[in-house]
Amino acid sequence: MVPPTPPPPPAWSVAGHDAGHTLHSLSYYTPVPISLLWWGRMPAIARDPVIDGYGGIYLSRPEGALLALDAHGNTNWCSAQQAITDTSCTGTLLPPPPQAPPTPVAPNALVGPDGHIYVVGASGVLRAYSPTSPKPLWHAWDNLDPDAGVVFGPDAATLYGVSRLPSASGVPRCAVVALRWPGRYVSGWHMTPIASRGLTPVSVAPDGTVLVAARSARAGDAATLYALDSQGYQLWRLPLAPGEPSTVAVAGTSDGWAAWVAVNGASGSTVVVADQDGHALWRWRAPDRIDVANGGVALAHPFDPDPFDTGLGFVGTPRGVYALDLGHQRARLFFDTRRLGPALTPVTDVRNTVYVATSTGHIFDLWWQGNVRWHYATGRHIDYPPVLFPAAGLQNGAVLVLSTDRQGQTIAEALGAGGTPLATGTASACAAPDCPTPTPTVTPTSTFTASPTPSVTQTMPPTTTLTSSPTPSAAPSGSPAVTASVGATLTQTLALPGR
């Protein structure tokens, strides 16, 4: 008997990509020239998308439902995690008036290594789904925090989440919990009480150490980084800085790793890097507020065997993206976005290019030196960093971008190679149906030319014919290159072979 073929590894299993919350894709990158693979209107979205190994996309809706799409953006199914009004979703409908509706809770999804979708919803219930059906395989009342969700440990069998405990002498407390299929508590796991108003999502180090950042129990006190062993007992704790901590990002191997945490406080933002023994290696005081809501720190080459000398992190701020070099304990403004609005937490890929979204709707793909590889402007507000996933029918990757228009409608766009070409000719670009309604933009940097329409900038082959046009357009820019002037409106930068 031939054993069943295992599912491919998830493309973006959880907010933060993986159990180490590296925001780094080891499998996918976007080839150029960039094009529009698909475009669609979606219901309002409340959390970062997660994507399975086939390109299936799972979106959290704020009223309490999980929406499943295929790799082309078509709806597969919708499953309500609580009573809602949408009759297109499988689940319980809201009771008729005058009964009070339940408080809506946006579900938090994880794509497991087994291909199943694990969802924490209202009332802390954990459900498991097959990617092909809106009917849960099982559910368990585990009293989990939906904002923290769940992650798998290195054994691919243990799920870690966060639960709120009863207060002690008026002090709020939380704990990390360990679960196994079908949602049962792991025997022997010690739920270490942590005095805190809330814990971040759990991160798991390569050696199985469980990491979590805790908000202080009292406002104004320092947040704290906790490390727990394989049975849930505290290994060490490290005070961070007063404020709101980000999810912990982990770089390294089982022989040695570094944990990165960003903290936003009333008096400023701080990034703290700790080693596996709980020693603070570096405390960097940021000149601007860091975007901790979208993960805080993105890591380049997070699986290098020497995370202390080669450690490189990126953070998003209103000024732009900062690159943090752990080995030299030096930070620099990697990419300035002040003319385009605040930069969200970046994302990195297997080729160590850096994807940056601004809240005003711009997406950049940057070489690690900071040169622009391509640029796309949605013309709409962006709340979540882009994510990388396998493009349907293609061996390479695509970028999923979620934005919000002026009417509050969510727009999903997949960008990659082999889709609908973008018309070329000006230093700005957009993709239909964005183009009929021009959106004013500001000049990004000296590399770009101001345009009244959303824009894409990308590396293009030297044979591309460029003609001036007010319709959807693409303009190249990029890496070590030969520069050619095209007309009076466009300066083309052609990438040399071997990049």
- Write the CATH number for 75: 2.130.10.10
Contact call for residues 145 and 212 (beta carbons, < 8 A): no
81: tokens are 């995690």
Q: Could you tell me if residue 275 is inside a domain?
A: yes
**Mean pLDDT over all residues of the chain?**
84
User: Among residues 420, 451, 477, which one ends one of the domains?
Assistant: 420
How many CA within 13 A on the CB side of residue 151? Answer: 29
Q: Tell which residue, 304, 309, 269, has the closest CA to residue 290.
A: 269
151 & 266 share domain: yes
Q: Tell which residue, 290, 394, 346, has the closest CA to residue 22.
A: 346
Which pTM does this prediction carry?
Answer: 0.85
- Contacts (Cβ under 8 Å, ≥6 apart) of 279: 238
452 & 377 share domain: no
**If residue 42 lies in a helix (H) or strand (E), which one and from where to where?**
strand 35-42
User: Among residues 390, 420, 450, which one ends one of the domains?
Assistant: 420
Decide: residue 2, CB within 10 A, 0-12 exposed, 13-18 middle, 19+ buried: exposed
Residues 206-225: what's their mean pLDDT?
A: 96
495 & 365 share domain: no
pLDDT exceeds cutoff 50 at 37 = yes
Looking at residue 475, its pLDDT comes to 37
Contact call for residues 37 and 69 (beta carbons, < 8 A): no
Looking at residue 486, its pLDDT comes to 22
Residue 218 confidence class, pLDDT cut points 50, 70, 90: very high
Looking at residue 84, its pLDDT comes to 87
User: Among residues 385, 420, 455, which one ends one of the domains?
Assistant: 420
Residue 468 confidence class, pLDDT cut points 50, 70, 90: very low
374 & 469 share domain: no
316 & 462 share domain: no
Number of Cβ within 10 Å of residue 470's Cβ equals 14
- Contacts (Cβ under 8 Å, ≥6 apart) of 87: 93
How many CA within 13 A on the CB side of residue 261? Answer: 37
375 & 477 share domain: no
Q: What angle do CA 395, 473, 445 make, to 5 degrees?
A: 95
pLDDT exceeds cutoff 60 at 437 = no
Residues 93-122: what's their mean pLDDT?
A: 86
Looking at residue 367, its pLDDT comes to 92
Contact call for residues 343 and 337 (beta carbons, < 8 A): yes
Dihedral pair phi/psi, residue 445, rounded to 5°: -155, -175
399 & 430 share domain: no
pLDDT exceeds cutoff 70 at 201 = yes
SS3 content of the chain, % helix, strand, coil (to 5): 0, 40, 55
Residues 150-170: what's their mean pLDDT?
A: 96
pLDDT exceeds cutoff 90 at 68 = yes
DSSP letters, 122-143, are: GGGEEEEE-TT-SS-SEEEE--
Report the domain count for the chain.
Answer: 2
Q: Tell which residue, 421, 425, 311, 431, has the closest CA to residue 379.
A: 431
Residues 429-433: what's their mean pLDDT?
A: 48
Contact call for residues 229 and 199 (beta carbons, < 8 A): no
- Give the range of the structural domain holding residue 441, as residue numbers without chain letter: 422-499
65 & 95 share domain: yes
Lowest mean pLDDT among 99-108, 238-247, 378-387, 485-494: 485-494
Looking at residue 369, its pLDDT comes to 86
Strand 387-390 to 397-404 pairing: antiparallel
How does pLDDT run across 315-370, given as a tens digit for each residue? 999 999 999 999 999 999 999 999 999 999 999 998 889 999 999 999 999 998 88
297 & 438 share domain: no
473 & 397 share domain: no
Contact call for residues 385 and 357 (beta carbons, < 8 A): yes
Secondary structure of residue 307 in the 3-state scheme? helix
Looking at residue 53, its pLDDT comes to 92
Residue 30 confidence class, pLDDT cut points 50, 70, 90: confident
Residues 215-226: what's their mean pLDDT?
A: 95
Decide: residue 44, CB within 10 A, 0-12 exposed, 13-18 middle, 19+ buried: middle
Looking at residue 88, its pLDDT comes to 85
Radius of gyration of the chain (CA): 23
Residue 118 confidence class, pLDDT cut points 50, 70, 90: very high
How does pLDDT run across 47-59, given as a tens digit for each residue? 999 999 999 999 9
pLDDT exceeds cutoff 90 at 434 = no
Burial string for 380-416 (b: 16+ CB within 10 Å, else e) reads bebbbbbbbbbbbebeebbbbbbbbbeeeebbbbbbb
Residues 180-188: what's their mean pLDDT?
A: 95
Percent of the chain past pLDDT 70, that is, above it, reads 81
Q: Could you tell me if residue 253 is inside a domain?
A: yes
DSSP letters, 149-203, are: -EEE-TTSS-EEEEEEEEEETTEEEEEEEEEETTTEEPTT-----EE-S-BPPPE
Using CA atoms, how far apart are residues 431 and 456, in angstroms rounded to an integer? Answer: 9
Q: How far is CA 252 from the centre of its chain?
A: 20
182 & 214 share domain: yes
pLDDT exceeds cutoff 70 at 282 = yes
Residues 14-42: what's their mean pLDDT?
A: 91
Q: Could you tell me if residue 142 is inside a domain?
A: yes
pLDDT: which is higher, 346 or 33? 346
170: tokens are 């008026």
Contact call for residues 225 and 238 (beta carbons, < 8 A): yes
260 & 374 share domain: yes
Q: Could you tell me if residue 453 is inside a domain?
A: yes
Q: Tell which residue, 368, 367, 360, 312, has the closest CA to residue 338.
A: 360
How does pLDDT run across 350-365, given as a tens digit for each residue? 888 999 999 999 999 9
Q: Could you tell me if residue 434 is inside a domain?
A: yes
